[in-house]
Amino acid sequence: MSLQESGEMYLETIHVLSKKSANVRAVDIGEELGYSRPSVSRAMHILKAEGFITIDDTGFVKLTKAGQKIASRIYERHTVLTRLFINLGVNEKTASYGSGDGQWMRDWQDRLVAAGASIIGGEGVIANNAPDDDAVSQCEDLGRQLAQA
C-alpha cells in the first residue's frame, strides 16, 4: 500500500485529534487542516478503502492498527524535525510544517523582491500541507502564467 504525503498528513492529523478527543469526525479533520469538505470526504474514502481508518455509523473516524503505525511514525518524525529546527533558531510556528497562515511565504517573497526577483502573478500560492482543489487550481493558473512569461 503506497501512501502519498497528503494521506500521511490526514493520518497524523487523526492521530493528534484522537489524543485530544476519542471522537474524531471528518469535519474536525477538515477544520484542523483547513481543507474543504469534498477534499476531506475523498481522502476519508481512500484511507478507508486502503484499510488505514474505519468510520463508524455515527461518523467517527478511528485509525486501524496499520493507520496508527504510520500515523505514529509520521508524528514522531514531525516532532523530531520541529525540535531540530527550533534548536537551530527557527521559531516554533515556522518550524512546524503546518506553519500557520503562510507568513513564512510572505516573508520569503519579500526577501526575493528585495533581492530583485519578480513574483509572477503578484503573489505566491499558500497551501499548508497538501493543496486542496482551490490551491491546485491556483497552482495551475500560476503555471500557465509562468509558461507565458
- Domain of residue 34, CATH code: 1.10.10.10
Domain of 32 in residue numbering reads as 5-74
Looking at the structure, tell me whether residues 14 and 67 fall in a common domain. Answer: yes
Provide the domain count of the chain.
2
Of 40, 59, 74, which closes a domain? 74
Which range among 33-47, 95-109, 125-139 shows the weakest confidence by mean pLDDT? 95-109
Taking each helix axis from N to C terminus, what angle separates 5-20 and 65-87, rounded to the nearest 10 degrees? Answer: 90
Query: Per residue in 35-68, pLDDT tens?
Result: 889 999 999 999 999 999 999 999 999 999 999 9
Looking at the structure, tell me whether residues 67 and 104 fall in a common domain. Answer: no
Whether 24 maps to a domain, the answer reads yes
Whether 149 maps to a domain, the answer reads yes
How many angstroms separate the CA atoms of 102 and 46, rounded?
28
Q: Is the pTM of this model over 0.85?
A: no
- The SS3 assignment for 46 reads helix
- For 8, list phi and psi in degrees, rounded to 5: -60, -40
